[in-house]
């Protein structure tokens, strides 16, 4: 076992393992929808120089996020290395991180000049801006220069350029759904009983009317349970600018940063929370419910929950696969705003092979074989390809026995060039179309640096944690008084400073 693998094993033993339910397959589309080009001969030649002087092929360690550590990680890494040895002159090994432990593991591996991890994704549990501000991401402008045009073609120029901080590129943006619409997931048989089908649109008033009809017929079953531990309903009408402590309203078309929690839109939501509590829509003691939808929806403890996705229809398909029962997902708001990517592929400044690491990022952005291995694993062992060019589990296997972290395509740099796993064949085409058709935020690509107001961010985050879920989960008695306390608490904690800092940086971004 290599030194890096030994270190990774020791680290895994040191960190408490946290098993979490699998996050959704983030879709797929045919490789034709993007530039699926593989490394050119010039690029292959340039990365061969990264081999050590004695002819040994370098090994690049790559962060892989999973629910629980997959037993076949080494086998997939070896298959990937067969490709990378030929195309860019290096091997690849995986540093697997269970999603609940990502923040702790990244902190350990990126602190103190540890070179165990070469390529990693910032933005999953650890904000990209934090990584950059901590000096934990290598500047990529020179390293990515040989590949820049191909990667821009594959991911989109705006996605590529969004990784700049103070004009310098530190990460390559993940291509995923940029515009997620707010949805309500309802057990499909109940939805159809009251005249709705998967993918239908409702506004908040119509949703509340539906809640009333369902409650009248099924008074013993609540309608709203938690999703990923919280009951909160998103708001796809805003660009949250990372944390909702200062947002752009009107689907990101405004250029004035405002306090979301004092907006008419948020106050309207609180009014609906109050109605839903009075109607008995929430699961009892919802803030302390530890069950996931797969636990409580099939068992009838609750009929539904809130979620978000670029497509309500696709969200219903994903939820049906992952909740263990058929789901109809209803779109709540008319449109969605396309916002800056939330995650970026970065290189550890301590790496001993920066050129090979950059070449690996290039392949992850452009090479379908590479991305498909990372996302779906080994054909015939972890998945099989159906006649419609979509993938599913091999016969006799499921998420618990497959051996690879299927369902984690959302952690990949460019999942759109992989084979769709248990989704329609045109899934990624739909996602790319949704990105293109959404209203793009005026702040798209702006990376906000809030270190100058970090104390206010910390204080306001504590206030949000105290009040937001309590309001959205119907866990307060006096909604009006609680909202007023929430708003005053944010003002006292310094939200105006955060809004002003974001405004100053947005103005500079727009001017530039």
Domain count, the chain: 1
Instruction: Establish if 156 belongs to a structural domain.
Output: yes
Written as six digits, the tokens of 242 are 């990372």
Query: Is 396 a domain residue?
Result: yes
Question: Bridge partners of 346?
Answer: 120
Whether residue 269 lies inside any domain: the answer is: no
Residue at 402 is within a domain: yes
Q: Tokens for 110? A: 């990126």
Q: CA 60, CA 119: separation in Å to the nearest integer?
A: 7
Flag whether 318 is in a domain.
no
Residue 483 lies in a domain: no
Please give the Cα distance from 325 to 329 (Å, whole number). Answer: 12
- Closest residue by Cα to residue 154 from 372, 363, 420: 363
CB 357 within 8 A of CB 140: no
Helix, strand, or coil (residue 186): strand
Which residues, at least 6 apart from 453, have a Cβ–Cβ distance to it below 8 Å? 494, 497, 498, 501
The number of residues in the chain equals 512
* CATH code for the domain in which residue 32 is found: 3.40.190.10
Question: Domain of 367?
Answer: 17-176+341-440
DSSP codes joined into one string, 114-166? --S--EEEETSSS-HHHHHHTT-S---TTTTTTTHHHHHHHH-HHHHHTTEET
Residue with tokens 């689907």: 251
pTM of the model: 0.79
Question: How many CA atoms, within 13 angstroms, populate the side-chain half-sphere of residue 1?
Answer: 10
- From first to last of its 512 residues, the chain has per-residue pLDDT tens of 443 433 343 333 333 333 333 333 333 333 333 333 333 334 443 444 444 334 589 999 999 998 888 999 999 999 999 999 999 999 999 999 988 889 999 999 998 778 899 999 999 888 898 899 899 999 999 999 999 999 999 999 999 999 999 889 999 999 998 888 899 999 999 999 999 999 999 999 999 999 999 999 999 999 999 987 778 898 889 999 988 999 999 999 999 999 999 999 999 999 999 999 999 999 999 999 888 898 899 999 999 999 988 899 989 988 897 788 999 999 998 888 899 998 999 999 999 999 999 999 999 999 999 999 999 999 999 999 999 999 999 999 988 889 998 888 889 999 999 999 988 899 999 999 989 888 899 999 999 888 899 999 999 999 999 999 999 999 999 999 999 999 999 999 999 999 999 999 999 999 98
Q: Under a CB-based contact definition with an 8 Å cutoff, are residues 355 and 144 in contact? A: no
Rounded distance between C-alpha atoms, residue 288 and residue 211, angstroms: 23
The pLDDT assigned to 41 comes to 37
Q: Is 103 a domain residue?
A: yes
Residues facing residue 185 across a β-bridge? 305, 329
Predicted pLDDT of residue 291? 85
What is the 8-class DSSP label of residue 167?
A: T
Summarize pLDDT for 98-127 with one digit per residue, the tens.
888 899 999 999 987 788 999 999 998 888
Q: Are 357 and 119 in contact (CB under 8 A)?
A: yes
CA-CA distances (angstroms) from residue 469 to 230, 232, 463, 466?
7, 6, 11, 7
Q: Take residue 21 and report the two structure tokens written for it.
A: 């339910």
User: Is 465 a member of any domain?
Assistant: no
Contacts (Cβ under 8 Å, ≥6 apart) of 255: 248, 442, 506, 510
């Amino acid at each position: 076992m290599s030194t890096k693998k030994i270190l990774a094993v020791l680290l895994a033993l040191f960190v408490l393992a946290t098993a979490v339910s699998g996050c959704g397959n983030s879709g797929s589309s045919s490789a034709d929808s993007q530039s699926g080009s593989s490394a050119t001969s010039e690029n292959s030649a340039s990365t061969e120089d990264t081999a050590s002087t004695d002819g040994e092929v370098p090994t690049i360690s790559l962060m892989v996020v999973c629910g629980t550590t997959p037993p076949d990680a080494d086998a997939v890494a070896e298959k990937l290395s067969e490709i990378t040895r030929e195309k860019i002159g290096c091997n690849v090994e995986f540093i697997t991180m269970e999603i609940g432990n990502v923040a702790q593991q990244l902190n350990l591996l990126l602190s103190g000049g540890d070179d165990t991890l070469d390529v990693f994704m910032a933005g999953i549990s650890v904000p990209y801006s934090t990584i950059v501000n901590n000096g934990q991401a290598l500047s990529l402008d020179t390293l990515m220069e040989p590949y820049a045009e191909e990667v821009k073609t594959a991911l989109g120029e705006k996605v590529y350029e969004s990784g700049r901080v103070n004009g310098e590129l530190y990460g390559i943006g993940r291509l995923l759904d940029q515009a997620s619409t707010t949805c309500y997931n309802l057990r499909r048989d109940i939805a159809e009983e009251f005249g709705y089908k998967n993918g239908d649109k409702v506004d908040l008033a119509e949703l509340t009317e539906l809640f009333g009809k369902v409650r009248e017929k099924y008074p013993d079953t609540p309608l709203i349970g938690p999703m990923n531990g919280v009951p909160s309903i998103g708001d796809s009408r805003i660009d949250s600018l990372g944390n909702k402590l200062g947002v752009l309203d009107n689907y990101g078309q405004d250029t004035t940063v405002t306090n979301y929690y004092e907006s008419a839109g948020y106050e309207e939501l609180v009014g609906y929370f109050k109605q839903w509590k009075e109607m008995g829509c929430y699961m009892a003691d919802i803030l302390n419910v530890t069950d996931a939808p797969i636990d409580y929806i099939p068992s009838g403890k609750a009929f539904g929950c809130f979620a978000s996705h670029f497509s309500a229809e696709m969200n219903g398909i994903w939820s049906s696969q992952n909740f263990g029962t058929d789901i109809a997902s209803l779109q709540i708001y008319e449109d969605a705003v396309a916002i800056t990517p939330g995650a970026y592929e970065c290189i550890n400044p301590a790496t001993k092979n920066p050129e090979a690491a950059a070449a690996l990022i290039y392949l992850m952005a452009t090479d379908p074989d590479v991305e498909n291995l990372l996302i779906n694993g080994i054909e015939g062992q972890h998945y099989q390809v159906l006649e419609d060019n979509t993938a599913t589990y091999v016969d006799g296997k499921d998420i618990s026995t497959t051996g690879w972290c299927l369902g984690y395509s959302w952690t990949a740099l460019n999942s759109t060039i992989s084979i769709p796993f248990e989704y329609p064949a045109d899934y990624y085409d739909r996602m790319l179309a949704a990105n293109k058709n959404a209203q793009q935020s005026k702040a798209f690509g702006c990376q906000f640096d809030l270190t100058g107001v970090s104390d206010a961010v910390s204080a306001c985050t504590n206030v949000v944690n105290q009040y937001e879920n309590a309001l959205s989960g119907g866990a307060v008695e006096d909604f009006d008084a609680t909202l007023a306390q929430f708003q005053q608490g944010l003002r006292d904690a310094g939200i105006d400073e955060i809004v002003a800092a974001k405004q100053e940086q947005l103005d500079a971004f727009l001017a530039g």
